[in-house]
Structure 1
Amino acid sequence: MSEKKDMEYWRNPSIQGVRSLGINYGQVGDNLPPPDKVLDLLTSLKLTKARIYDTNPQILTTFANSNIELIVTVENQMLPVIVDPQQALQWVTTHIKPYFPATKITGIAVGNEIFTDDDTSLLGYLVPAIVSIHGALARIGLDKYIQVSTPNSLAVLEESYPPSAGSFKGEVSSAMSQFLQFLSSTGSPFWINAYPYFAYKDSPNKISLDYALCNKNPGMVDPYTKLHYDNMLYAQVDAVVYAMSRLGYGGIEVRVSETGWPSKGDPDEVGATVQNAAAYNRNLLRRQMSNEGTPLRPNTRLEVYLFALFNEDLKPGPTSERNYGLFQPDGTIAYNVGLSALATSSSTSPASISLTSSATKVIKPQGLFYSNSPFKPIKFINKLYSTGN
């Protein structure tokens, strides 16, 4: 594909598939398929968005001249280095410029869950690093095409329930305000790693499984806004919107950079089953096919990246960490989630979704880092705040 045609893509995208659905594709495994096989899989499923957790040159090269839009990542340990504008320019010149525009890099994640990282020293580097990376993109003329942000754990919230009570933790408010100012000035999204699974696992006797899984259920009504929520993910997203509004930033888009449900877990990981994983991801897929928005922003489709493409056998932590994949390392599907609907005509009824053999010739997992901070216990508040919306 010529550079002229590549640049034209950015102005008039016309890609098949569900535009608001992406997938997390990592490399933490010793039995993973090569990137060309992964590209074949994504293409067969008509998935057009993927997120990786580094800037693996083999992946970036392989995905050139494809319809896959990529979000790439600056690893956490690099933040103190790229605070220096010259180092940031060197990073962009080395890791982005050689591949763009043939490889459709649409976003750069600067770190992952820095606001809640155990290494609190990194937080001071975050916004300066983000500004430096964006400045480097601007110097070579790519800031118009590549957004810069950072994925956040839901644990960054002090209050998350009801959604209208959403607020950020006080200890991050200063850095968060600076971050939101950057997002507002550049039109970049706030990325959140949101896992209803964590909330259900921690309080299975208090939280409805159907509500967490996006199954049919009575839902809940926010007592202040009177908005009705029929699933926890949308409530979590809107809590973030309200939290940003409290700091004076009501117009920033929220995108879900990770969400998923494990198909297997340890004995104490309640709800980690194949049936629940299939239900959550299948329900989410159906909603994405309808380009749904949240109750607070019903006319803005919610962009979601599923976690994850593969099970990853080298991920540390509990059993669930290695079992978020839609596919097994040997190429078989982990469970029927219905992705084949993306490979058929847009008139396919979501009710008849089923995974076909065209998607079963898969590959093996590669790593991702999902939000490993426990879901903060939900709390009510007795005061209604102005949201600024």
Structure 2
Amino acid sequence: MATLIRVLLILVLSDSIVSIRGLGIGINYGQIANNLPSPSHVAYLLQSLNISKVKLYDANPNVLTAFGNSNVEFVVGLGNEDLQKMTDPIQAQTWIQQHVLPYIFQTKITCITIGNEVLTGNDTQLMSYLLPAMQTVYGALGSLGLKKDVYVTTAHSTGILGNSFPPSSGVFRQDLAEYIQSILNFHSQTDSPFLINAYPFFAYKDNPNQVSLEYVLFQPNPGTTDPITNLKYDNMLYAQIDAVYSAIKAMGHTDIQVRVSETGWPSKGDPSEVGATLENARLYNGNLLSRIQQNQGTPAKPSVPIDVYVFALFNEDLKPGPSSERNYGLYYPDGTPVYNIGLQGFLPCMDYSASNRNGLGFFHLLLFPVAFLISSEMPQFFVPILWREDFEAAR
């Protein structure tokens, strides 16, 4: 059996390992579900895929512990419900001492996000807490000697834009200008990035007769030309990023980097959610990954590679809202991919107890890769993971 395992691993790994090095993609690891694999299995999964950046919406100690010594960079988050108390320096320092300090020497925590899409909500009091919370958390990091290691920011919806086309005419909403100007000043002073959650899916869903599907999916299309700069755009995401850069410049800043903290496409949705299909999700995320691997910049920032966190790692069955909200994952909770986008590998089911209940198990996991290898559907890269207990059981 040991010989069979070695042969299988040689078959499926070969030279493809070399070609996956250096992929700089980030992933959003949401956990609003009751059926996800353990953080230790997730750590194994992400390392096998060479994903080096993970964004959480909290600071889950089980996740941070599981990724210890993994060289994966983490963004941890404070929820909107925490903003008011984070304006208190004592509470901010206490939170960092409890949720960051115990893990930062083993796990690479590089960023804390304060709230999510606060400015496009309806709570003006919450908006007023946002910048003070960011400033207070940053000050607490400084008092603990961490401000050079961990930056502080917040994530915005593209709904903060008052105009986004052409990209060179991008401006922020006038009613949000006061908040955004102060936040931009903070980013400039602390050398921290401006994060946006950008979803071309929503633009297509709302206007499928006016928005080209090829344009939002990075497929070949005539594109659009900015009449002011004469720059050509062949996809909506890049146009959205450049519109944000223009809006920031209109407020007097050219020293702030824009990063995409969320983008993705649902593989399933309600009947009213036009475009939410498995094929469109495969095309969007697959084509986006291809662009990122090429270290592309946007037309207005060609020398600045796109920095993206894909949403999301798993389908999350407890998320509220329309069906699409529960179907953004690249993976099902059992560890199998929702679709193949050539993301440097394929992992067998990680829930072995479930496999055994279905009459499967270790021998199924060995045979499945072989069957997959000889099929016409073989992905570009294929990296199976066999857990330690499976090796032990096979001896």
Per the TM superposition, whether the score is higher than 0.5 is yes
1:358 aligns with 2:383: yes
TM-score (norm 1): 0.84
Of structures 1 and 2, the one scoring higher in RCO (CA 8 A, sep 6+) is 1
Counterpart CA distance in 2 for 1:221 and 1:300 is 20
Map 1:212-223 onto structure 2 (within 5 A): 212-223=216-227
1:196 aligns with 2:200: yes
State the match for 2:94 in structure 1: 90
Map 1:83-232 onto structure 2 (within 5 A): 83-232=87-236
> What is the identity, as a one-letter code, of the residue corresponding to 2:119?
F
1:21 aligns with 2:25: yes
Q: 4+ residue stretches of structure 1 with deviation over 6 A? A: none
Structure 1 residues 118-127 or 196-205, which shifts more?
A: 118-127
Find 1:258's aligned residue among 256, 262, 267. Answer: 262
> What is the identity, as a one-letter code, of the residue corresponding to 2:338?
A
Given that 2:346 and 2:382 are in contact with CA atoms closer than 8 Å, whether structure 1 keeps it comes out as: no
The structural deviation recorded for 1:101 is 2.2
Counterpart CA distance in 2 for 1:65 and 1:159 is 44
Question: Residue 192 of structure 1: SS of its match in structure 2?
Answer: strand
Question: Residue 228 of structure 2: SS of its match in structure 1?
Answer: coil
> What is the identity, as a one-letter code, of the residue corresponding to 1:316?
P
> What is the identity, as a one-letter code, of the residue corresponding to 1:163?
P
Given that 2:336 and 2:346 are in contact with CA atoms closer than 8 Å, whether structure 1 keeps it comes out as: no
Greater share of residues in helix: 2
TM-score (norm 2): 0.83
1:307 aligns with 2:307: no
Map 1:53-72 onto structure 2 (within 5 A): 53-72=57-76
1:327–1:361: structure 2 CA closer, same or farther, 3 Å change rule? farther
- Taking only the aligned residue pairs, the percentage that are identical comes to 52
State the match for 1:331 in structure 2: 335
Counterpart CA distance in 2 for 1:274 and 1:196 is 16
The structural deviation recorded for 1:20 is 3.5
Map 1:284-295 onto structure 2 (within 5 A): 284-295=288-299
> What is the identity, as a one-letter code, of the residue corresponding to 1:215?
Q
Counterpart CA distance in 1 for 2:124 and 2:211 is 31
State the match for 2:271 in structure 1: 267
Counterpart CA distance in 1 for 2:343 and 2:319 is 25
Counterpart CA distance in 1 for 2:124 and 2:386 is 43
Task: Write the deviation string for residues 255-295 of structure 1: whole angstroms up to 9, x where unpaired.
Answer: 00000000001111000001000000000000111111100
Counterpart CA distance in 2 for 1:319 and 1:44 is 29
Larger gyration radius, structure 1 or structure 2: 2
Given that 1:338 and 1:353 are in contact with CA atoms closer than 8 Å, whether structure 2 keeps it comes out as: no
Question: Residue 332 of structure 1: SS of its match in structure 2?
Answer: coil
Counterpart CA distance in 1 for 2:345 and 2:223 is 27
